[in-house]
Amino acid sequence: MQLTGNLLIGQQSVAGSNGTIHAVNASTGAAIEPAFGGATLADLDSACALAWAAFDSYRETSPEVRAKFLETIAQNILDIGDDLVERCMVESGLPRGRLEGERGRTVGQLRMFADVVRNGDYIGARIDPAQPERKPLPRVDLRLRHIGVGPVAVFGASNFPLAFSVAGGDTASALAAGCPVIVKAHSAHPGTSELVGRAVQKAVKDCGLPEGTFSLLFDSGRDIGQGLVKDHRIKAAGFTGSRGGGTALMKLAAGRPEPIPVYAEMSSINPVLLFPGALGNRTEGIAKAFVQSLVLGAGQFCTNPGLVLAVDSPDLDRFIEAASSALKETAAQTMLTPGIHKAYEAAVEKAGSHADVKTAARGAEARDDHQAQSALFATTAEAFRNNQQLQEEIFGASALVVRCPDLASMLELIESMEGQLTAALHIDDSDHAEARRFLPALERRAGRILVNGFGTGIEVGHAMVHGGPFPSTADGRSTSVGSLAIERFLRPVSYQDLPDALLPDALKAGNPLGLNRRINGKVQLAE
Amino acid sequence: MQLTGNLLIGQQSVAGSNGTIHAVNASTGAAIEPAFGGATLADLDSACALAWAAFDSYRETSPEVRAKFLETIAQNILDIGDDLVERCMVESGLPRGRLEGERGRTVGQLRMFADVVRNGDYIGARIDPAQPERKPLPRVDLRLRHIGVGPVAVFGASNFPLAFSVAGGDTASALAAGCPVIVKAHSAHPGTSELVGRAVQKAVKDCGLPEGTFSLLFDSGRDIGQGLVKDHRIKAAGFTGSRGGGTALMKLAAGRPEPIPVYAEMSSINPVLLFPGALGNRTEGIAKAFVQSLVLGAGQFCTNPGLVLAVDSPDLDRFIEAASSALKETAAQTMLTPGIHKAYEAAVEKAGSHADVKTAARGAEARDDHQAQSALFATTAEAFRNNQQLQEEIFGASALVVRCPDLASMLELIESMEGQLTAALHIDDSDHAEARRFLPALERRAGRILVNGFGTGIEVGHAMVHGGPFPSTADGRSTSVGSLAIERFLRPVSYQDLPDALLPDALKAGNPLGLNRRINGKVQLAE
């Protein structure tokens, strides 16, 4: 499939004239053709105008039409075939297996949201019927549903060129919620973005939807991304990336005449807590599994286990030894972009030269300038507490083991930490009582708590929370992965005493959509 | 019941030493005893420390304990007896009937949230059971529940000294969600606040809850209110008041190292749309009902109908005439505070002297310096569009009728307006087709759409939305009234592969709380 380098504005393919972006071969650093034209502010305005014009009719499409649209996007992505995987391998440096898996996840997410739309529970339909005889005052008829917040800006993520980019989680949940989407492509994978963007654009046409339902813009600088978040027609934004980038968007959004929510997923070091029983009984098994999780995808996951906490002990020495042996065997891996690779090298260099930090092990050496060598460091609880630097995320396959004097000080460390996406506890039965004491602190600090596993490998389901208190995300009240993600793009509207003919289908007396609805506060399942 | 003028910090009654506040008799402007001592920053710190310490155990109280607590607060408020109503009448200038009704609403809200807590659906329990046999990878066990966000700051509202102040809607929903509450009392009704505060404080003790579950602070300036929103232990804030006050808190909250949500309900002019059929057929009936709604509670409701839109016509002339006749008969009413009265007088004076505005009618003259005279103005669509001043809320019994050239320009006016709490349509059967064309614009702009009624008189139910796009509220994704309000103080947490013994009761295999739970995405009602 031939790449054009064009913006996709509604059903148009438009040559961007505001500078150019070139993809870079992640393994060689060489620029790849074609050039992608950056969007102008006029292009941005066109996309926003189309999205705004599409909103009312798109949000009122029937569940079946909307579900079919999501399924058509999924099928159109599959129909690109191997061209997509190959282009994405070159742009991201990620291996085929990983990208085929990620494509499966992307398609799976879209199909899950099709089911969510058909199910209709996300509408949250509520009916408090009139009580004309109530004393002292009659009760009005009140009905409530949720509608989309409006057009949504989605920022592609460097580390998930498929599952969290053009047709990734944010796009799928926003489209499911009835919100048109404008994607700002990540400059690390413009070709992948165009291919997927065209699959979505075609699905809009295949399904006869208003063209403003979807647009894709390339940004040769920062004006388009910032302009999107500032545009009055954009009512929410989804972002996955750095803390600096995310907080900058949050500031822009809060400073608008009409502030909007930015759902930014930013940084997390994902503490792994090794409790004494498990550490003693399963030292080597845990160490090996930990290293596997650490180096997966060159460590470029937001749920990468960057921090290990345990009580200082001979068992912990054995753990560090076993993890070090395993880590030394790990191959260097190509990172997503030269910039990410450079930042990783600098951060690892800085950690390794810190006076209070010991380098436990490094992985196999890089075979070229774009590969990263994994790293395992160790320090003390005191040093960790006193050095903000040691608490910051190193994006890549690097972790820090903290030797704690006892479990009480380990809990104190947890209480001093910032918000996290995940926290993992490794426990045996004998550790239950101690683990229970940690749970309240972990619940306050993380979106997902897991036992005897690691946070990488995120199950896209109904009970998943991929979110957490700031700064792991902009705020912890929602998730970016799983079916609950649809809620971030919804708002409630109440209808009082509307004649049935004017009510939306979700709230009509005859329940034509066959929804589960809450009547006088109690859920009634559809027949 | 004797007032002490003291702060309530946990179970302590503490004399505030940071300046003093006196209540003012709304009808005379005279200061009333006793003096209320303003909280110091040390008092604020104590209250926050107690709230933080209480959070983990309070949020894990059983549904029955939490529900009983809310019911006990309700009963303790009733047990104050007439002292509460009398003090509140003096402080607010509101009449007995209104305050007895408001007390009923306050108590009703608390009891409704007790039912919500017992019902347990707000927990949003979800279970995706493990699938160890799944290929290519086994599926983990994932379970999700919602927990409280943390301690919440609640700002008392001047216009609802009971239903939206110390034990009002925000406090009830936050406590129901499992969040300790610190109230910053409104300086317009410190005595009412102390009485209700002591009822809550006693309920905490009656129910054996941690003392930090509730505190009440008086603020002699702005330091305590601002300090509350900035304190790192406060995780959300609820506010009802002016646009200036609300946006100032939003800025403070967004500027924290860890930003938090502020649920501010601010300003709304609540457009009333008179469609031709209804206007022609029921001119006088609508006019009378409109004036009744307009002057209710001296117009001091956030849902007060401040704007009437209709097509210029002889019917509209008749409407204005009928409304004017009715308005002239309305008595002047005491406003909540001298400050609010002064602001009302200034705004009405400014509107009446605007070159493009005609004064249609004024109500009966004030009998003293604290009463406000109702007002009805008229203008053209063009003037309304071109004068930002005319689009701003006048807090009090004042409304503006806008003569539109036709329905198309009426819709254009709606599209140019800011977010609103409510929009009311007056329609007959012949107006349905036109009304339907307006609905999408109204849904985008308002939290509640009502037919043949007015926004005042808010039903506290399950299908109520009292919220709306900015600036009617800080953001339109939640409601401050009704059972859905509990969601603003919740966040989701996911549990992966936890042994049953470590899971919270809401998620245990045996479903000991008897909850409706979503299993693999489908709701299963409790047996």
pLDDT tens digits in sequence order for chain B, 527 residues long: 799 999 999 999 999 999 999 999 999 999 999 999 999 999 999 999 999 999 999 999 999 999 999 999 999 999 999 999 999 999 999 999 999 999 999 999 999 999 999 999 999 999 999 999 999 899 999 999 999 999 999 999 999 999 999 999 999 999 999 999 999 999 999 999 999 999 999 999 999 999 999 999 999 999 999 999 999 999 999 999 999 999 999 999 999 999 999 999 998 999 999 999 999 999 999 999 999 999 999 999 999 999 999 999 999 999 999 999 999 999 999 999 999 999 999 999 999 999 999 999 999 999 999 999 999 999 999 999 999 999 999 999 999 999 999 999 999 999 999 999 999 999 999 999 999 999 999 999 999 999 999 999 899 999 999 999 999 999 999 999 999 999 999 999 999 999 999 999 999 999 999 999 999 999 999 97
Backbone torsions φ then ψ of B374, nearest 5 degrees: -65, 165
User: B446 CB near a chain A CB, below 8 Å?
Assistant: yes
* CATH code, domain with B30: 3.40.605.10
β-strands A181-184, A214-217: how paired? parallel
B21 vs A259: CA distance, rounded Å: 34
Q: Are residues A365 and A218 in the same domain?
A: no
What is the helix (H) or strand (E) element at residue A292, kind and residue range? helix A283-295
3-state secondary structure of A382: helix
Shortest distance between the Cα of B25 and any Cα of chain A, in A, equals: 30
Both A335 and A217 in one domain: the answer is no
Q: Nearest by CB to A494, from B56, B465, B522: name it.
A: B465
Q: How far apart are CA A62 and CA A68, in angstroms?
A: 10
- What is the C-alpha to C-alpha distance for residues B118 and B123, in angstroms, rounded to an integer? 11
Q: B328 and B430 share a domain?
A: yes
In a domain, B252, yes or no: yes
Residue B460 lies in a domain: no
Angle at A440 between CA B199 and CA B490, to 5 degrees: 60
Q: How many CB atoms lie within 10 A of CB B285?
A: 13
Helical H segments across B207-296, by residue range: 223-230, 243-254, 276-281, 283-295
Same domain, B250 and B350: no
Check whether residue B253 and residue B275 sit in a common domain: no
> What are the tens digits of pLDDT across the range B410-434?
999 999 999 999 999 999 999 999 9
Tell me which residues of chain A, numbers 362 to 421, contact chain B at a CB-CB cutoff of 8 Å: 418-419
Please name the residues in contact with A132: beta carbons below 8 A apart, sequence gap of 6 or more: A138, A139
Report the C-alpha gap between B164 and B146 in whole angstroms: 25
How wide is the angle at C-alpha B13 spanned by C-alphas B7 and B19, nearest 5°? 35
Asked whether residue B462 is domain-assigned, the answer is: no
Are A424 and A299 within one domain? Answer: yes
Say yes or no: A59 and A207 in one domain.
yes
Residue A523 in domain = no
- Which pLDDT does position A527 carry in this prediction? 74
How far does the CA of residue B52 sit from the closest CA of chain A (Å)? Answer: 11
Helices (H) and strands (E) in chain B, counts: 15, 23
Q: Does A121 touch chain B (CB under 8 A)?
A: yes
Residues B288, B169: one domain? no
A522 within domain boundaries: no
B481 touches chain A (CB under 8 A): no
Backbone torsions φ then ψ of B96, nearest 5 degrees: -55, -45
* Cα B154–Cα B249–Cα A414 angle in degrees, nearest 5: 75
Torsion sign, CA atoms A228, A234, A240, A244: positive
Give B24 to chain A, closest Cα distance, Å: 32
B291 interfacial to chain A (CB closer than 8 Å): no
pLDDT in tens, B469-527: 999 999 999 999 999 999 999 999 999 999 999 999 999 999 999 999 999 999 999 97
B128, B465, B474 ranked by CB distance to A493: nearest: B465
DSSP A224-284: HHHHHHH-TT--EEEEES-HHHHHHHHHHHHTSSS---EEEE-----EEEE-HHHHHHSHH
Q: Are residues A111 and A196 in the same domain?
A: yes
Q: Per the structure, how many domains does chain B have?
A: 2
Angle at A235 between CA A229 and CA A239, to 5 degrees: 50
Buried b (16+ CB within 10 A) or exposed e, B485-496: bbbbbbbbbbbb
Angle formed at CA A179 by CA A175 and CA A185, multiple of 5 degrees = 70
Task: Say whether A259 and B251 touch across the interface (CB within 8 A).
Answer: no
Subunit contact B451:A476, Cβ cutoff 8 A: no
Q: Of A351, A423, A355, A362, give the one whose Cα is nearest residue A393.
A: A351
Examine residue B496 and state whether it is found in any structural domain, yes or no.
Answer: no
Q: What single letter denotes the amino acid at residue B369?
A: D
Cα separations in angstroms, A168 against A4, A103, A177: 22, 10, 14
Using the Cβ of A500 and the Cβ atoms of chain B, whether some distance falls under 8 Å is answered with no
A143 touches chain B (CB under 8 A): yes
The answer to whether residue B380 is domain-embedded is: yes
Token readout for B365 is: 């003259």
Q: Choose from B422, B465, B497 for mutation: most chain A CBs within 10 A.
A: B465
CATH code for position B293: 3.40.309.10
Interchain pair B60, A142: CB under 8 A: no
Q: Do the chains contact at A432 and B502, CB–CB below 8 Å?
A: yes
Tabulate helix, strand, coil % of chain B (nearest 5). 45, 20, 35
Task: Check whether residue B177 and residue B304 sit in a common domain.
Answer: no
Per residue in A154-184, is it b (16+ CB within 10 Å) or e — as a string?
bbbbbbbbbbbbbbbbbbbbbbbbbbbbbbb
Peptide bond into A305 cis (omega under 30): no
Q: How far apart are CA A194 and CA B451, in angstroms?
A: 47
Both B178 and B279 in one domain: the answer is no
Q: How far is A33 from chain B (nearest CA, A)?
A: 36
**Between the CA of residue B26 and those of A284, B340, B348, what are the distances in Å?**
74, 10, 20
Instruction: Name the residues of B annotated as catalytic.
Output: 265, 302
Interface test with B, best of A429, A442, A465 (most B CBs within 10 A): A465
B437, part of any domain: yes
| Claim to verify: residue B205 and residue B275 sit in the same structural domain | no
A-B contacts at Cβ under 8 angstroms: 224
Q: Which of A196, A302, A188 lies closest to A242, judged by CA?
A: A302
Residue B501, number of CB atoms within 10 A of its CB: 11
What distance in Å separates the CA atoms of residue B442 and residue A219, rounded to the nearest whole number?
Answer: 34
User: What's the CA gap between B378 and B355, in Å, rounded?
Assistant: 11
Q: Residue B137 and residue A457: Cβ atoms within 8 Å?
A: yes
Taking CA atoms, what residue in A is nearest to B429? A499
Domain of residue B84: give its range.
Answer: 9-266+478-488
3-state SS string for B307-337:
EEEEECCHHHHHHHHHHHHHHHCCCCEECCC
Place of tokens 């969510």: A116
Q: Where are the extended beta strands (E) located within A406-511? A: 420-426, 446-451, 490-496
Report angle CA B477, B482, B485 to the nearest 5 degrees. 40
Q: Which pLDDT score is estimated for A147?
A: 98
* Integer angstrom CA distances of residue B351 from A159, B354, B355, B388, B400: 57, 5, 9, 12, 9
Q: pLDDT in tens for each of the 527 residues of chain A?
A: 799 999 999 999 999 999 999 999 999 999 999 999 999 999 999 999 999 999 999 999 999 999 999 999 999 999 999 999 999 999 999 999 999 999 999 999 999 999 999 999 999 999 999 999 999 899 999 999 999 999 999 999 999 999 999 999 999 999 999 999 999 999 999 999 999 999 999 999 999 999 999 999 999 999 999 999 999 999 999 999 999 999 999 999 999 999 999 999 998 999 999 999 999 999 999 999 999 999 999 999 999 999 999 999 999 999 999 999 999 999 999 999 999 999 999 999 999 999 999 999 999 999 999 999 999 999 999 999 999 999 999 999 999 999 999 999 999 999 999 999 999 999 999 999 999 999 999 999 999 999 999 999 899 999 999 999 999 999 999 999 999 999 999 999 999 999 999 999 999 999 999 999 999 999 999 97
Nearest to A463 among B143, B451, B499 (CB): B143
